Amino acid sequence: MSLNAAEIVDYTDPETIATQRDYVLYSKQVHSYSPAIQKILDLINDYVPDAEAAFRAGAPAIWTGGYSWEPPFLYSLGITPVSYQEMGRYGFREDMLVAEDYYQFPVETCSMVKCAVGQWHKRLNTGTINRILGSASSCEPFNLAWEVLRKEGYDVFTNEVLYRGPSVNGERLEQLVQLMMENLLDIAEWLTGKREIDEAALRRELDRKNRLLVKFKRILELRLSHPFYMKTLAIILTLNVGLNNYFGKPEPFEAAIDELIEELEKRPINQEELKRVVPLVWAGGTGQEFGVYEAIDLAGGALLGLRGTPFKLVREDIPPLEALARYLYENGRAGAGVFTRDIIESEVERLKAKGIILYGYIGCSFASVDREMWRRYFHAKGHPCLNLEGTFQTGLPSGQVLTRIKAFVEMLLADR
Ligand code: SF4
């Protein structure tokens, strides 16, 4: 179901952009010079519909966060992880209303959760993926969502809270690692009926993960010399989503990444680009207001560092189950905001970034506290920060958000 030219949106008229899919189509048009990026954008676009079609044809798949430990583990069990956040981005205003009116979620609930709930509701009794693996440490609104969906008939499994507090080290950290390993066996039992894993298959998946992490580091290095070759929407979806779950298609994803590296390595450096680039670090999740990314591009910014930037490999010197559990805690993914702040800071220093964009969703109390802590911390160190709140709902971002981005990047440009 790859995109074809007839579907390309005429972006000269912003009115034609109505959905996140339109932005992906538009991005494909913008990257017409790069076969590799076009393939990646097709993978992005086809991820959820193709996984659901494959499921209907008999290929095992489950809904899951799909941004952390889940993909390598699930692939090793022969199950495709399908990210419910990616499904949620197909949500429309009506899906939010289903969450509010039918499931009685308070209006102020995070829009990401409401979009996902509305999308799951649409899929009830349609023969599509009916199992959800939820991570109990994700967030309270999602915990609530899984409870109501279980009552509607979904087969839902939520594991123990995996959170690592700022002072958790030594024996307490070892206990967390053990707990996570038990959790993984619980999940294997839920999915396969057996409380065991295929160590060789998990090792293969962890090797794939490490291989791709190395390749992404190479892409990030090359982007320093080619900051505008891969625009903001494409890089953020590739790195924040694709690197984690491979858009449900590990081999084609890796092949496209190899092709991208080749394209970047062959491309002559354009000194003009280097003179006008404003290096930025994105310290938020993958915002669904795709117009925000377009605004960054138009203003002359380039997201060269991201919160989820890969920096550590999965250990190869210990058994794979333990390696996966340790990776979760040692990579800043399952813990206090201070761990993530360290990643952001190392990116700011590595890139000599001019500014940091802190992005989160309205209604997320947990992330807004982190963002405010980071903003104060980085401001005190003299790094300009833009703290943005948006919604998960599809369509165009608000004019206010776009104006703030433009003003921020222009201020950084003027400061050079
Ligand atoms: S943005 Fe916050 S409230 Fe919304 S799903 Fe994520 S963690 Fe939960």
Q: Phi, psi (5° rounding) for residue 276?
A: -100, 0
- Residue 367 CB–ligand 1 contact under 6 Å: yes
- Residue 113 CB–ligand 1 contact under 6 Å: yes
| Regions of the chain short of the pLDDT cut 70 | 1-15, 137-138, 310, 332-334, 393-395, 416
Residue 15 three-state SS: helix
**HSE-CB for 103 with a 13 A CA cutoff:** 31
Q: What is d(CA 176, CA 165) in angstroms, rounded to the nearest whole number? A: 11
Q: What is d(CA 338, CA 306) in angstroms, rounded to the nearest whole number? A: 16
End-to-end Cα, the chain, rounded Å = 45
Helix (H) or strand (E) holding 163: none
Helix, strand, coil percent content, the chain, rounded in steps of 5: 60, 10, 30
Q: What is the pLDDT of residue 364?
A: 83
Residue pLDDT, tens place only, 313-347: 999 999 999 999 999 888 766 677 888 888 899 99
Question: Are the beta carbons of 347 and 300 closer than 8 angstroms?
Answer: no
Q: Which residue's CA is the closest to the ligand 1 atom numbered 2?
A: 364
Q: What is the pLDDT of residue 368?
A: 84
Question: Are the beta carbons of 244 and 68 closer than 8 angstroms?
Answer: yes
- Residue 180 CB–ligand 1 contact under 6 Å: no
Q: What is d(CA 349, CA 343) in angstroms, rounded to the nearest whole number? A: 10
Ligand 1: nearest atom to the Cα of 367: 2
Ligand 1: nearest atom to the Cα of 138: 7
Q: What is d(CA 288, CA 88) in angstroms, rounded to the nearest whole number? A: 9
Contacts of 42 (CB under 8 A, 6+ apart): 2, 3, 28
- Residue 134 CB–ligand 1 contact under 6 Å: no
- Residue 366 CB–ligand 1 contact under 6 Å: yes
Residue pLDDT, tens place only, 378-415: 999 999 999 988 877 666 777 788 888 889 998 998 87
- Residue 112 CB–ligand 1 contact under 6 Å: yes
Q: What is d(CA 38, CA 27) in angstroms, rounded to the nearest whole number? A: 8
Q: What is the pLDDT of residue 333?
A: 64
Q: What is d(CA 21, CA 304) in angstroms, rounded to the nearest whole number? A: 24
Q: What is d(CA 309, CA 270) in angstroms, rounded to the nearest whole number? A: 25
DSSP per-residue string spanning 188-218: HHHHHSSS---HHHHHHHHHHHHHHHHHHHH
Name the amino acid, one letter, at 224: L
Q: What is d(CA 370, CA 307) in angstroms, rounded to the nearest whole number? A: 13
Report how far ligand 1's centroid is from the alpha carbon of 285 (Å): 10
Residue spans of alpha helices (H) in 77-198: 84-88, 93-97, 111-122, 140-152, 170-192
Q: Phi, psi (5° rounding) for residue 303?
A: -75, 100
Q: Which of 53, 47, 130 is nearest to 82 (CA)?
A: 47
Q: What is the pLDDT of residue 261?
A: 98
Report how far ligand 1's centroid is from the alpha carbon of 227 (Å): 30
- Residue 389 CB–ligand 1 contact under 6 Å: no
Q: Which residue's CA is the closest to the ligand 1 atom numbered 4?
A: 110
Report how far ligand 1's centroid is from the alpha carbon of 139 (Å): 6
Report how far ligand 1's centroid is from the alpha carbon of 157 (Å): 19
Report how far ligand 1's centroid is from the alpha carbon of 330 (Å): 22
Q: What is the pLDDT of residue 255?
A: 98
- Residue 364 CB–ligand 1 contact under 6 Å: yes
Report how far ligand 1's centroid is from the alpha carbon of 141 (Å): 7
- Residue 143 CB–ligand 1 contact under 6 Å: no
- Residue 154 CB–ligand 1 contact under 6 Å: no
